[in-house]
Amino acid sequence: NESSIGRICKLDRILQKYFNNSNLELQFVADELHVSVRQLSRIIQKQYGCTYREKLLELRMIHAARLLSTGLSITEISYEVGYSSLSAFHAAFSKYYGMAAAQYRKEKLLPEG
């Protein structure tokens, strides 16, 4: 269905644009797509195989991992990807990647000396 493909593309654009907004709520995204929260939840589950929160977490963590290769501090990265609390970012990153952000930066991104 062409309209559902367009909706998925728009959903991707919205999530990519706003994922770092710490207050990004499902209702805002649903309003942007002109669908109900329930419809949006079903669309996300069908398209990505996960919940809205899981998709948002994935986008934030992928972006955070990329930013670890820059000169930004972990505190700056946490705010950049939408966390208003450094401890919440640390908990999410550790759970997602199985290690702290500083450890990830050291092990995955810095060349062996």
Encode the chain (113 residues) as per-residue pLDDT tens digits.
657 888 899 999 999 999 999 999 999 999 999 999 999 999 999 999 999 999 999 999 999 999 999 989 999 999 999 999 999 999 999 999 999 999 999 988 766 54
Q: What's the confidence (pLDDT) of residue 112?
A: 57
Q: Up-side HSE of residue 5: CA atoms within 13 Å toward CB?
A: 2
What's the whole-model pTM score?
Answer: 0.89
